[in-house]
A and B are shown apart, each in its own frame.
Chain A
C-alpha cells in the first residue's frame, strides 16, 4: 500500500480516533483530514483509512459515495460551490453560474485544465439572506454580482 499521511496528519488521525467510543465514528473526520492534505480520497487512501479504523474497505466506499463534500477524484485547488436553491434562484443564481461557466471555460461539475478551479452547483448553503451566494473552499460569499465574482476570482492566486 503506497499511501501515507504526513507525520502531523497521522498524529491528528490518532487523536481523532481517541475521541470516540467506537473507532468507526472517526471515519468522516478522518476522511476530511485526508482530503485536506491530499485534495481528494484515492482508492489507496480508502484502503489506508479502512485498515487504520479496522473496518471493511466497502464501508469506507459506502460513506465516500454518499456525501457530496467528499471527493473520489482530484478537484481544483479552488472548489467553487454555487447555490441554486430557491432563494438564490430568485436572486439570480443562474446568471452567476452562467457567468462562471463562461469565465472559467468549464461546465458545472468540471475542473479547469490547469487544475485551478472546480465548479459545482449545490443545494442550499444556509446563507439565504445573502443570496445569491457561493463558497470558495471554506469561505462564504454573498450576495454576489457578476462583478463581485470577477473580483473574487482575481483574488485567488
Chain B
C-alpha cells in the first residue's frame, strides 16, 4: 500500500494539484482507454473487477451501468454522489480534497463507458471549500483538454459541473439527490422507474458514490485482476475505513476489503481510548446496526457483515467506549433521524419523532417500564414501510441498541 500511485488518498501537501497527479501517472488510464477501447469493453472490465458501490448499498457498479438503455435519444447523465452525510463518514471529503483529479479521471472513464456527455458532482453544502477545489481542478483539466470537447483528441466530449446541496441528509439518497439537483426539496421518488431509465431531467442516469468512481482509474491503470486481488473475489479493491469515536488514533485507513474490524480498530486506530474498554461499535456509518465487543472479529465486507445482521455501509467505523452511557447514544441516533426525516412517509416522520421523544424522556430520568417495548414497536413499524431506505436506516441502529443493550436501558429506567 506504499505505492502512491495505487492509493485513493496520496500523501503530500500538494497532492491535489494537476502537476502532482500527472506525476503519479494521472489521466494516462483515461487517455489509453478512450483512444484504444470500446465503451463496451470498459464496462466489461469494471464488471470483471467486481467494483461494488462505496456509498452504502454495495451494488456492483458495472451492473448498474448496464441498466442504462443504450438505444435512447434522451441525454444521459452521471451524478456523482458527494453528499457525504452519514454520521461517522469522512472519506469522500478526503478524496476530493487531496485527489480531485483522480475523481475527474474516474468520471471520464464512467461517462465514456455509458455514453454520457454531462456529469454533475452533487456535493453537500457544508463542503464549500472542497467544492471550490473541485471547480479549480475541473478548470485545470479543461485547459489540458482532458475535459470539454474532443477529449484527448478523440471525438468524446464531456462537461463536469459541481452542484452544491444546502444541508440535508436525505439528499444522499439517490432519488432525493435527483430531486434536489432539479431545484426541489429532497423528497425521494417512488421506484420504479429506476434512475437508469428515468432519472435526472427524466433522462437515463447513473448515480455513483465518489469513492466508487475514484477507484476506476486504478482499475484501468493496473487491470481488473490486480483490483480483485487487492480485495475479495466478489468484492474487489480497498476501502477507506474511517475510524472515529473512542480510539487513540482516529483517521482514515485504506485497507483491503475484508480486513477484520478488530484489526482496523487495534492495529491502525490504536485501540480504544486511554482507560476505556469498547462498549459498542458502529461498523459502517450510523445506519448500520451496532455491534458488541464480541462481534468485532468480523471481516469488513458486505457479505460478512450482512451475515451477522449488520452492514458495511459507508465503512465509517464509530467506536463507543464504556464511559459513554448507551442512553446518550440512543438519544443522538433518535434525534438525528427525527431531524433528517424528510416527512414524506408517515411511518418515518412519526416513528422517528416518537422514538426521539421517548429516548429524551428516558435520558432525563423519566423512563417507564413500557418504553423499550414502545421503541421496538415504533422501529418495527418503520421497517420496509417507507419509499426510501431511510425508514430502515432509522430503525436498524435503534433496534440493535434496544436488543443488545436493553439491560443497561432497563436498569436505567428502574433506577
Within 195-245 of B, Cβ neighbours of A (below 8 Å) are at: 201, 242-245
Residues in B neighbouring A28, C-beta threshold 8 A: 163-166, 180, 183
Whether A51 is near chain B, meaning CB under 8 Å from some CB there, is no
Q: Is the interface of A mostly helix, strand, loop or mixed?
A: mixed
Residues in B neighbouring A29, C-beta threshold 8 A: 163-164
Question: What does the 1/0 interface line of B311-339 toward A look like (CB < 8 Å)?
Answer: 00000101011001000110011001001
Q: Are B244 and A68 in contact (CB under 8 A)?
A: no
Q: Are B86 and A124 in contact (CB under 8 A)?
A: yes
Q: Are A131 and B183 in contact (CB under 8 A)?
A: no
Among A4-12, A85-93, A95-103, A105-113, the stretch that binds chain B is: A85-93
Bound complex: CA A90 to CA B280 (Å) = 12
Residues in A neighbouring B252, C-beta threshold 8 A: 129
Question: How distant is B138 from chain A, measured CB to nearest CB, in Å?
Answer: 12
Whether B124 is near chain A, meaning CB under 8 Å from some CB there, is yes
Residue from the set B92, B124, B125, B243 with the largest chain A CB neighbour count within 10 Å: B125
Which residue of chain B has the shortest Cβ distance to A94 in the bound complex? Answer: B328
Whether B87 is near chain A, meaning CB under 8 Å from some CB there, is yes
Within 110-154 of A, Cβ neighbours of B (below 8 Å) are at: 122-131, 135, 138-140
Residues in B neighbouring A24, C-beta threshold 8 A: 182-184
Bound complex: CA A131 to CA B320 (Å) = 14
Question: How distant is A143 from chain B, measured CB to nearest CB, in Å?
Answer: 9
Q: Are A124 and B168 in contact (CB under 8 A)?
A: no
Which residue of chain B has the shortest Cβ distance to A23 in the bound complex? Answer: B183
Bound complex: CA A72 to CA B89 (Å) = 29
Q: Are A128 and B126 in contact (CB under 8 A)?
A: no
Whether B145 is near chain A, meaning CB under 8 Å from some CB there, is no
A-B contact count (CB 8 A): 143
Whether A77 is near chain B, meaning CB under 8 Å from some CB there, is no
Q: Are B245 and A87 in contact (CB under 8 A)?
A: yes
Bound complex: CA A139 to CA B128 (Å) = 9
Residues in B neighbouring A139, C-beta threshold 8 A: 129
Q: A67-B168, A86-B318, A123-B87 are known contacts. Are A129 and B75 too (CB-CB below 8 A)?
A: no
Q: Are A126 and B128 in contact (CB under 8 A)?
A: no
Count residues of chain A with CB under 8 A from any CB of chain B.
43
Q: A22-B201, A135-B126 are known contacts. Are A87 and B318 too (CB-CB below 8 A)?
A: yes
Bound complex: CA A87 to CA B244 (Å) = 6
Within 64-85 of A, Cβ neighbours of B (below 8 Å) are at: 66-70, 81, 84-85
Within 17-31 of A, Cβ neighbours of B (below 8 Å) are at: 19, 21-22, 24-29, 31
Q: Are A126 and B85 in contact (CB under 8 A)?
A: yes
Q: Are A86 and B243 in contact (CB under 8 A)?
A: no
- Across the interface, B88 reaches (CB within 8 A) one of A87, A122, A130, namely A87
Question: How distant is B78 from chain A, measured CB to nearest CB, in Å?
Answer: 15
Residues in A neighbouring B329, C-beta threshold 8 A: 86
Residues in A neighbouring B324, C-beta threshold 8 A: 89-90
Which residue of chain B has the shortest Cβ distance to A139 in the bound complex? Answer: B129
Bound complex: CA A55 to CA B324 (Å) = 49
Whether B146 is near chain A, meaning CB under 8 Å from some CB there, is no
Bound complex: CA A36 to CA B266 (Å) = 44
Q: Are B89 and A128 in contact (CB under 8 A)?
A: yes
A residues sitting closer than 8 Å to B (CB atoms) are 19, 21-22, 24-29, 31-32, 53, 55, 59, 62-63, 66-70, 81, 84-87, 89-91, 122-131, 135, 138-140
Q: A28-B180, A87-B250 are in contact. List 16 more A-B contacts (CB 8 A).
A: A21-B201, A24-B183, A25-B182, A53-B183, A63-B185, A67-B186, A85-B88, A85-B336, A86-B318, A90-B245, A90-B246, A123-B169, A126-B84, A128-B242, A129-B90, A129-B243
Question: Can you sample 21 A-B contacts with CB below 8 Å?
Answer: A25-B182, A27-B184, A28-B164, A28-B183, A32-B164, A63-B184, A67-B167, A68-B167, A70-B167, A85-B332, A86-B282, A87-B87, A87-B244, A89-B332, A90-B320, A122-B126, A125-B126, A126-B90, A127-B93, A129-B244, A129-B252
- A-B interface, 6 closest residue pairs, ranked by CB to CB distance from nearest: A27-B183, A68-B167, A67-B166, A69-B167, A128-B244, A66-B185
